[in-house]
A and B are shown apart, each in its own frame.
Chain A
Amino acid sequence: MEALTNRSKAVDRRPMTVWEKMYLPVIAKGMGTTLKHFFMKKPTINYPEETRPFSPVFRGLHVLNRDEEGRERCTACGLCAVACPAEAITMEAAERKEGEENLYREEKYAARYEINMLRCIFCGLCEEACPKDAIYLSETFTPSNFTRQSFIYGKPDLLIPDPVKEPELYQKAKGERAKKN
């Protein structure tokens, strides 16, 4: 067979020379290598205290966005559910009642909005499909859990905090990937 790379090396099966049989020089060389590594900088990142920077295209947990006045953007049009290749999104629409104008931006809103995080493949197609910029993927992981039920995220898990009432939490949850509007 023709060699695919020029890195292959034939195994040397000659009997060991006296120098090699002494083991010690080679051992000393190896110990030098390990000692060098002993003093090298460690690439470990202490996870909860330090985190690795996310890349700009990282797609993590979904966020249901609000507008500047704190109203939900989602109108339950269902385009995200249609776009979802993993069929992870379920929703139920409802009509906005009188006096709920400060809660929902449009006349129709999502009464129930669920994403099954075990099905989701974090492709970001829902984000692309959304005409209202109501959903986007942020820079967070899905935390581990013990039951399958707990991986079905409802509206309370997905909705971003109110920018008017809780501006600090809102800024924290917003992340880098939110559309600047």
Chain B
Amino acid sequence: MMLLSIDLTFLLEKAVLISAVIAISLVAAMYSTWMERKVAAYMQDRIGPTRAGWGGLLQPLADGLKLFMKEEIIPNASNKFLFVLGPGLAMMTAMMTSAVIPWGKEIHIGEKVVSLQIADINIGILYIFGVVSMGVYGIMIGGWASNNKFSLLAALRGASQMISYELAMGLAIIALLMLTGSLSLRTIVEQQSTGWWYFFKQPLGFLIFLVCAFAETNRTPFDLPEAENELNFGYHQEYSSMKLGFYLFAEYINMFISSALMATLYFGGYDIPFVNDANLVNSWGVNAVAALQIAALFGKIFLFIFFFMWVRWTIPRFRYDQLMNLGWKGMIPLALLNMLVTAAWQLYRHA
């Protein structure tokens, strides 16, 4: 039991780690907007932003500044408190998930061993699941508080979409958990760095998880809550200035975090591909390997983010009934099947 004379170094270590992770996710989300514009442009035979900085690299800053400078509008008929609460909630739930993702194994500062994970709790996956299920409140509250029928419609769509796809996502994860036998993300990564990546053992599970991740982050082809051409931008229609920015930003952070999650669960996390990390530690030292591991994880995350964008600029939006059909009649039975097969395989192996 900890006394009030708290372990200050522990607190400091975690505070630094948390700030670093938040800063990194914010910067990553910021540059995802730049990347999105570039990828979109290149896929449409354009070249995208080039003016602000070299290759348009300062474009996110310019965008942010623009959002800050815009007039803050709170509609008269809206529920003021909830209207302000909505974007904050969306941002908060987006950031909270990063707490349990292991960004690297460990680094040594002098004698001290610092683990590169904010909290290694042994219900890691469930925690992520819980936070993701909270994510819908930001959209719902914002959409309802706007007092606008389009926003409300979008909020309801978003809520039902997220609940529907959460189920399939959970079932896909259960199949994975049967193989890992642990809910701690660090343990899952450690298992993958010594053996095969779970993608090769759970390809169908990964596919389901991927589709559900698209639905959970409201990315095209599942961006029905913000369908521009039918709902006038959906739940954040009444928002302006940085409150709108928060919603847009939360989407990119969500994308970053789900990419990190997919890399962690199915693609070995911070495991450096094709080499044995343990051998590398012996020859290169812990810190160098930790840097490499972080680089490897970010490489994987980058590939996933690119994939998110690639899909967005390829596939048109689903119709609402198609979305629900796919979720309930496609994804959930598939996930159940995947779960059954995995369970049977585990039973056969251990029998």
A residues contacting B by CB (< 8 A) are 27, 30-31, 33-35, 37-38, 40, 42-44, 46
Contacts and interface: CB of A to CB of B under 8 A. Distances in A.
6 contacts: A27-B315, A34-B310, A38-B42, A38-B43, A42-B47, A44-B46
B43 A37 contact: yes
A34 B43 contact: yes
B46 A34 contact: no
B310 A35 contact: yes
B330 to A, nearest CB: 8
Interface of B: 39, 42-47, 50, 310-311, 313-315
Given A30-B315, A42-B46, 11 more contacts: A27-B311, A27-B315, A30-B314, A34-B310, A35-B43, A35-B310, A37-B45, A42-B45, A42-B47, A43-B45, A44-B47
Nearest to A41: B45
A99 B283 CA distance: 92
A31 B314 contact: yes
A27 B312 CA distance: 11
Nearest to A44: B47
Contacts of B313: 34
A27 B314 contact: yes
A138 B310 CA distance: 45
Contacts of A44: 46-47
B309 to A, nearest CB: 10
A138 B39 CA distance: 39
Contact of A34 (B47, B50, B314): B314
Contacts of A30: 314-315
Contacts of B39: 38
B314 A33 contact: yes
B145 to A, nearest CB: 36
Nearest to B221: A27
Contact of A46 (B42, B44, B50, B310): B50
